[in-house]
Structure 1
Amino acid sequence: MHNDLPIRKIIHVDMDAFYASVEQLDYPDLKGKPIAVGGSGARGVISAASYEARKFGVKSAMSGRLAEKLCPNLIFVKHRFERYKEISNKIRKIFLDYTDLVEPLSLDEAYLDVTKNKIGLPSATLIAQKIRDRIFSEVGLTASAGISINKFVAKIASDYNKPNGQKTVNPEDVLQFLEELDIRKFYGVGKVTAEKMYQKGIFSGKDLKSKSIEYLEDNFGKSGKQYYYIVRGIHNSEVRPNRIRKSLAAERTFSENLSSEIFMLDKLNQIAEEVSNRLNKSKVSGKTITLKIKYSDFTLQTRSKTLPFFINDKSIILENAKELLYQDSLKNSVRLLGISLSNLNTDKKLSEEPIDKEKKSVSVQLKFEF
């Protein structure tokens, strides 16, 4: 079945255990050993874990204390973000040798549109291989890649043959690939949503595809429409070299749990100042302020409000953060507070072509060498 959606050649490159791999690269005595970046101390949280540590169940966002229980021989190393940025910039320069359409998602991953590329190679699969080979030879790190017709499928595919591998999902294979996919592997379907889908008998892409757009919107809100299209291979978001910042935030984890709002005001003052400084440095303002609260039992709560005007002033940010803090009683003692500003004055609607609801699948008539 044919439709008019463009078929692109998209590569998603994802560095393997990036922070931990940089540490092992710079300190060869750490190679082959279970290491965790950050996370040391009673209050520490892990930013990254080497594959040797992951075998024990150690992963990012885990407390250092739990990680040590899982892996008694775990080696903790401190963050070196300037070094990670330096390596990331080297990798980005390699990307730019192949295409100017590079959209970084973070220091360790990016989308590349190589439909038209600088070396005139028709095969996106071969370009991905060349990029990964160059990263290894010139930087000394391994990367994995996913190659397909859109960003959504490419990102899922990059996780298939990790570490140091790649997977291509050709245009004619996209629909079957998505139908056979476990719902938990759909990028954007979190743990809570996955559980809700399980309760409704949705376990795979095929199950998801059997549901009408009305059913999905009724049960999953705005995201329901997105699920309806992506399972049909329709995800027309372009690779955007200049991604628009969607939010700006700062947070603090405390050495001791805080149990009273009064003790938190000084911390909020510091966080509001940092957020304000970042907003002013980036020359942006925001309308929606969100207070993030992580309790001692690691449960997370957010409280938000949207103002009728843009703000970046510390005193106004702090005033609204206080209001959100006092909005409701705290459930427990608090280990982390954060403030974020979103709905920024840089926000624009994504430049995506309109999608016809009647279009049921991606085109497989356009044949590309992937």
Structure 2
Amino acid sequence: MKKLYLALFVLLSTITFAQKDSVKHEVLDKAEVSGYYNIHFWVPEISTDPKQIEAVAQSLVNQYCSGSPGCNGVYFWKTRDAYQKLMFKRNELTIDKYDYNKDKWLKAEDRWKKANWKYVCENLYADFTGVNTINELSFFPYYDDDYRKYGGKKKRPEIRSTRIFPVSSVEISTDPVSQQKPKGSATGVLVVTLTIAIGLVWWVIRNQNKKSKSEAQDNQHPIAPPVQTQTKDIKEWKFGMLGGTIWIENGMLSYKSFPLGATYPLSAVQGVQYNTSLGVAEYIVLASGGKNEKVSIRKSDQSKQTIQEINDYIANWKRSQQSPIAATSSTNQIADEIQKLANLRDSGILTEAEFQEQKQKLLSR
């Protein structure tokens, strides 16, 4: 009966919660970098008014950044397409794609900016830097000299930035947030939550009846306790027949691609290097005292993404082995560097574009 009362309580709570307003949004990307999240949001009904942007940002930062591990950078996009165009520039218009020929690379980037930069700048409504005590929300951060060079005419609002702080629960009674709620969303959420809650009540009652029958049978025929099994801590990445396999098990990294292969303590591994040239790709496991063998793999975005995933796993593992003092020191150092950059920007030494570029480099360490 206690479980039934609990299920009824959950039902009433979900009905109350479903009636609250919410900001219509979609998470385009959420990645953990240096122990914190970087998040890109699509908020289609966001306003150009800084006060309304601040209210929407506060609501989403509360929802996604108030707990652990918190957020480094949060971006609020008016359109998905603008975000996808910027990601294409960052991932595809890199100098290695042009055989490290700087002139070709700069020409390609200039062509891309002539076609896309104005559109991208006008659809990034704000970004939030939440490292330690910075907590700065910048409005239309890409409205700078570069934006005007490629045809931009709009100006940043007089209030260019403000500070917001993520909290676990906050009541925002201003109109901007309620204006972001899509028509009919509360009704849809209410129907879904009611369906889930009613299903939960039915499930509790059904299992309570099954438990009563099972206990009655067990009293007549006692059952031996189940055998406990243990699972190994193992992570594995496969590159097909050409590239073999890399796996991490109990603090050891191994790779095997016939006839090559080796095993190293994870603490001795600096990372996995990804190289491309003339239509082929390869990876090299960089480790103290390692063989530095080159393993050929298929050249593709998936291979590059897999290598990055391995390096992220190694970095997270090493951070988990650090003392809390060392981890805090690293975070404080990044926060200090960003604050120095902000001071240089405010004094006119750095442009907004230069500040944003250097800030992203720090956040992606």
Alignment TM-score > 0.5, same fold: no
Bin the TM-score by the shorter chain: under 0.3
Highest CA radius of gyration, 1 or 2?
A: 2
TM-score normalised by length of structure 2? 0.24
